[in-house]
Structure 1
């Protein structure tokens, strides 16, 4: 082995703490990078990937069974522009009864013999495909696999309106990227279908005009009026991309924090090693080592543990990414997400390159040191450095070990600054993560805007549902009368939805007409105010963006029978109908209730029993063909849960890296002044006093780092939220931005001090256990 190799091996083995800190810091940074990079890659057009994998339908069409035949529908496979088709599949829309409490919405059921095929290859996520008359597979994205009374395989539904009133058992849960059904059964079960479903892939489907052309070609081959409904894949893509886009600013912010933190720790460790090894550097030069060899020696001492840490971090990142990407599959609707090899290659190359560059910059000082100066100076701080601080702290009414520790950072200001920077970034990460979690919770509250104790006919969010068959007609006025007559009703309102068109905007917009005061039900404003007079309306950000309007502008809505011009007085946070929604009073736009009637939202009197209220109300509603159900939602957004879990994971990693940076600095400082510690021990300093002195040495840097890091974290939070808004194309409610209060910020500031103390505990314990004789003999 060459002399340089022996020096490197000796340095790596002798400076065990430095070696471990660099290894762990790079492990944490690489793990976070692999995890974040994998999710970032998975966030790049995830719907498009899933759509290709499952041969998704560019056009899903519903046909009236009374106006066409299966033979005529099969012939549409040769329509101009159609490259593949699946169907016809018999369909019905029917309301089931479940084997648990609660009332269910109508279910779109499709008869399909197997999940595969040339178009819309449905993917099973649990269980098996239905192959018997008493079995059903439910959609993983519908309300029947995720409901308050249970979920998944084994649940039973009774379909009273089907011949024989069959009871079907859920044998599987599946996902259709084209969202073509709520449930699938064997075709022979639907002997009298209300309609047929056809699924098409088109040669050109990148724009709404191209999809419309394909729809027109299909409609031309069937009797007039047979095509009763259709859905373009572009509608689904738009909704999916909006959910994904919110991840990008979040990942970029944490990625930058992790990158800066890892570079800071590695640079600090190498610089500390050079500072502590000044005398050794002089001896190496005296023995004939060139400046370049000295630089390479210290670079190698950093690169060897860094390489080990990178290897461990890549493995850990891949293992940790498995459950995270499994959650992401549910959010993105894809089933083949895995860590991309490109991510591993880029992270490995990037980490090695950055460690090498950082170590080179820190090691150059070792190469520039003159031999005589290095041997003469050794590793002792210059005389007089920090004495003013020692004299000042000695006057404080504090125990002497504490005052000595408080003065220590001023003897090594560069090292103290590096340690404070590590604490700063740790405090920034914690503040940012907690602020982000609080903001996302506010977004979830605003998204649900559901304070109702009871709902009547309020199933779904107004999106188009595939399936045929008329639901029962419900008299909304009679329902309102029954609610008002029910003892225990505190307040209620109703809504009706209809589709309207807006000049210059492709597709349709949902208009929600309110009857009654909905102020109590949690709708939150992004800008402006709630409508108060006829002619006023509020709209969601996607609608305002699509129409090029803003608060104060007017817009004309056309439902085919009448046109109404409304003035937009507010930007409301509303995510139904992909944000293409306008909310107004029924006096402004009186939308006719659909067959299912209006959706009614009720809050009961304080102290009233909701279950008893629902039971009594259902007795009155049963003759009207509808029923009441408990209010509330079925759970939080998977996207928000995933972001919160990722934020917690990445924050813990960054805090650990910050604590490691403090650990290394305190170890270097403690070893550097080991002889002083021996003198203190000889003069009677106890182990507890030694621990107090070492920990006190990080208090100033911890307090300053926390005091600066918390405002930086708040500023980062305030910068990322608008970026998330812009990226997702939505407006966030005002409550999402005002999540920090003074008491919380003060506690977060203390967190910076805790990070410093945790990092100093181990070297403080080591210093306390070192015997006086050993400390005095140490050079």
Structure 2
């Protein structure tokens, strides 16, 4: 033990800089993984973010008006309660007309502390200003979107003597509004609720229960049913149901960031493993000397394990400490993500799991390298006795004969004369480049959604409708705008035989003016009974292009021939679209419900919307069609952060490659100088060898990354129901720029170590016999 301790101490004194770099590299990797996890949780789980920020309730009990719901707050498992609130079920619509939605109005004199709605637009209710002739109302974001309502609009409610003014839109962690299934939530002052003309069957109460242990949810629901009576409870919703619904709307973002995080972990693991293996190979002579003075193979293995596990533990501790203490003060998204992450349930164990994973991997990589070290013979063997290299090939000799610069020829040979090591170095460096290319592919796809929405199923930028204008007048007003092409449309919910859910049957465009769908398979629908479908619908029905499908709308059968597949971002792709003329063949009384407005290039949707609204005196309701790219804006920021992490990992791998090249070329100094190479040419050999490795990694990583990005994004498109065909590869110019930067950085990183190695004295090289 004393000899091992003395060797470790001497090793640290002789390699202080290397030890510090190992610790800093491990700390950097740990910080990167922790930040990636925090950003992943922040960006991919908005439900959890809202639940945490609002101090959400795990169980919502909806009961009859006379039930003793207050007693549920006294259950042992309940930590806090929201309410009970007096409620009224009603139907709401904008005062100017439009979509209708079922609401559960909750009367509350102030903003709740438990399950507190998070204001996204506008403000909360104020008894001083919102209790007048026109009372205020705050809508849940999901129902506000369904009603096309925003702060300042007036809402007409059945059973209320006067309309209510929307003063705010809030995010909640409750189950989102779903037409015909889940009512939307809204909040009003108790005075406004009391003024409603509602019968006993429409009145009730709701209480939210926040539990000490979320796993007690089912047990608490059973206790609530027992305590109040099954006949007194009208509905129960839990946090698991709400989270499952919310996660279904964020699969693309979650999968992309999950892929990047996993890839960064693999790249970091490969970089650390390569660095440790290279370091052990660089100390073979020292290991042989230890064997010669009496160290056993097991002692050598334990010594290397202890040394590098100590580095790993110190680096992980530094990384966790810096992230936990300083991460919250970082301005911008990172600081906000760390602050929120520390409040999430998973934060109690995720840092330990990540730190443990880093230590376990480094320990595994060190054990493999140390095992090789334990097999080093105790007597140093001269290099001449070991066929470490290969004879100069005919191609190399011909290149030298053609007066190709010796630095390039010898650099190429130095880079690839040991194929296994060269492939390993190229592979480790190609992984971060592959992931960077995938990130750029995701970025390009988002840019395609923003810059060319017509290519990804969003040719129309606006939707217009009006209940106060006749169809002919509305069509004429839209036709008066030269920058607008209006396509009439209508949507109905259709029931497919054998299915318990419904799909969207859409009639859009006419035979004389067909709508410009984004067709990626088959052809557009032209004749009667022809339709195009989204991928989600085809998967639901197990159908293909060319099949006939039968569906029922209000008892009327519709039989349509699917002649094509389009990219369909709406309703998870469970949409079948045909011409409005075909839809009216099955229901002659069907009226035009809306117009999709396709704008000419360069037209600003906001300006067109304002102009139409102003010209009609507010009688035309114009809304922008949501673009999925707006919901995935977090991908850009997180991708930029992960690209930075991957760049750091690539630099660490370059450092490993350079150190290995310097060590190998340092042993060849005598031979290189003997053939007449100057120190500058020797340095150029080392730099060119590194550049060739980097160039091979760039080609490998870029080609595989482009293919992987297209495959992964299209796979996500198919599984999300949008359909394949949405992927947009990065531009050639961007890929060339990234590749050129990688090669230039590799040359810059290798320049200084190569120059130092070229100036080494010959005696130093002679002594390096292994």
| TM range, smaller chain | 0.7 to 0.9
What is the number of residues matched between the two proteins?
716
Inter-partner Cα distance in structure 1 for 2:22 and 2:470: 72
User: How big is each residue's C-alpha offset from its partner over 1:44-92, in whole Å with a ceiling of 9 and x where there is no partner?
Assistant: 998599789734787989xxxxxxxxxxx625899xxxx9975324767
Once the two structures are TM-superposed, the CA of residue 493 in structure 1 deviates from its matched residue by 0.4
Inter-partner Cα distance in structure 2 for 1:219 and 1:404: 84
Question: Which runs of structure 2 are paired with 1:519-558 in the superposition (5 Å)?
Answer: 523-525=517-519, 527-558=521-552
User: How big is each residue's C-alpha offset from its partner over 1:699-750, in whole Å with a ceiling of 9 and x where there is no partner?
Assistant: 2212222222223223433553355356x542434132x5357666555554
658-667 or 625-634, which deviates more: 625-634
Once the two structures are TM-superposed, the CA of residue 277 in structure 1 deviates from its matched residue by 1.9
**1:2 maps to which residue?**
2
1:357 to 353, 357, 364: 364
**1:508 maps to which residue?**
502
Question: Which runs of structure 2 are paired with 1:337-416 in the superposition (5 Å)?
Answer: 337=344, 339-374=346-381, 376-377=382-383, 382=388, 391=397, 394-395=400-401, 397-410=403-416, 413-416=419-422
1:732 to 704, 714, 723: 723
Contact 2:34 2:323 in 1 (8 A): yes
Closer/same/farther in 2, CA of residues 606 and 550 from structure 1, 3 Å limit: closer
2:492 to 489, 498, 501: 498
User: How big is each residue's C-alpha offset from its partner over 1:428-478, in whole Å with a ceiling of 9 and x where there is no partner?
Assistant: 1222222233334446747984444654229xxxxxxxxxxxxx5553333
Once the two structures are TM-superposed, the CA of residue 620 in structure 1 deviates from its matched residue by 6.3
Closer/same/farther in 2, CA of residues 509 and 413 from structure 1, 3 Å limit: closer
1:369 aligned counterpart, secondary structure: coil
**1:657 maps to which residue?**
649
| TM superposition score normalised by structure 2 | 0.74
Inter-partner Cα distance in structure 2 for 1:379 and 1:27: 41
Contact 1:139 1:175 in 2 (8 A): no
Confirm whether residue 602 of structure 1 aligns to residue 594 of structure 2: no
Contact 2:125 2:188 in 1 (8 A): yes
Contact 1:415 1:665 in 2 (8 A): no
1:54 to 56, 74, 81: 56
**1:74 maps to which residue?**
65
2:141 aligned counterpart, secondary structure: coil
| Aligned alpha-carbon RMSD (Å) | 5.5
**2:640 maps to which residue?**
648
Contact 2:495 2:552 in 1 (8 A): yes
Once the two structures are TM-superposed, the CA of residue 34 in structure 1 deviates from its matched residue by 3.7
Inter-partner Cα distance in structure 2 for 1:522 and 1:59: 47
Inter-partner Cα distance in structure 2 for 1:715 and 1:691: 36
**2:79 maps to which residue?**
none
Question: Which runs of structure 2 are paired with 1:555-704 in the superposition (5 Å)?
Answer: 555-590=549-584, 598-603=593-598, 617-618=612-613, 621-622=616-617, 626-627=619-620, 629=622, 631=624, 633=626, 636-638=629-631, 640-671=632-663, 673-674=665-666, 692-704=684-696
User: How big is each residue's C-alpha offset from its partner over 1:507-553, in whole Å with a ceiling of 9 and x where there is no partner?
Assistant: 33332222337999764345433322221223333333333433333
**1:87 maps to which residue?**
86
Closer/same/farther in 2, CA of residues 412 and 139 from structure 1, 3 Å limit: farther
Contact 1:137 1:174 in 2 (8 A): no
**2:180 maps to which residue?**
none
26-35 or 444-453, which deviates more: 444-453
Inter-partner Cα distance in structure 2 for 1:451 and 1:426: 36
**1:477 maps to which residue?**
472
Closer/same/farther in 2, CA of residues 379 and 201 from structure 1, 3 Å limit: farther
Closer/same/farther in 2, CA of residues 246 and 390 from structure 1, 3 Å limit: same
1:243 aligned counterpart, secondary structure: coil
2:267 aligned counterpart, secondary structure: helix
Confirm whether residue 308 of structure 1 aligns to residue 305 of structure 2: no
User: How big is each residue's C-alpha offset from its partner over 1:390-411, in whole Å with a ceiling of 9 and x where there is no partner?
Assistant: 6455445454444443433246
1:87 aligned counterpart, secondary structure: strand
Inter-partner Cα distance in structure 1 for 2:58 and 2:589: 30
**1:100 maps to which residue?**
none
**2:174 maps to which residue?**
177
Closer/same/farther in 2, CA of residues 121 and 198 from structure 1, 3 Å limit: farther
Contact 2:698 2:739 in 1 (8 A): yes
User: How big is each residue's C-alpha offset from its partner over 1:3-57, in whole Å with a ceiling of 9 and x where there is no partner?
Assistant: 1122223334433454355435434543444455567788999859978973478
Closer/same/farther in 2, CA of residues 238 and 442 from structure 1, 3 Å limit: farther
Closer/same/farther in 2, CA of residues 493 and 194 from structure 1, 3 Å limit: farther
**2:212 maps to which residue?**
none
2:174 aligned counterpart, secondary structure: coil
Once the two structures are TM-superposed, the CA of residue 663 in structure 1 deviates from its matched residue by 0.8
Closer/same/farther in 2, CA of residues 327 and 25 from structure 1, 3 Å limit: closer
Once the two structures are TM-superposed, the CA of residue 320 in structure 1 deviates from its matched residue by 6.2
- In structure 2, stretches of 5+ residues that fail to align are 70-74, 76-82, 131-135, 177-182, 210-216
| TM superposition score normalised by structure 1 | 0.73
Inter-partner Cα distance in structure 1 for 2:6 and 2:240: 64
Question: Which runs of structure 2 are paired with 1:186-205 in the superposition (5 Å)?
Answer: 186-189=189-192, 193=196
Once the two structures are TM-superposed, the CA of residue 634 in structure 1 deviates from its matched residue by 7.3
Inter-partner Cα distance in structure 1 for 2:530 and 2:495: 18
Contact 1:423 1:662 in 2 (8 A): yes
Closer/same/farther in 2, CA of residues 417 and 19 from structure 1, 3 Å limit: farther
Closer/same/farther in 2, CA of residues 680 and 372 from structure 1, 3 Å limit: closer
Closer/same/farther in 2, CA of residues 221 and 381 from structure 1, 3 Å limit: closer
Inter-partner Cα distance in structure 2 for 1:532 and 1:76: 59
Closer/same/farther in 2, CA of residues 504 and 202 from structure 1, 3 Å limit: farther
Contact 1:525 1:734 in 2 (8 A): no
Once the two structures are TM-superposed, the CA of residue 315 in structure 1 deviates from its matched residue by 4.5
Inter-partner Cα distance in structure 2 for 1:56 and 1:317: 30
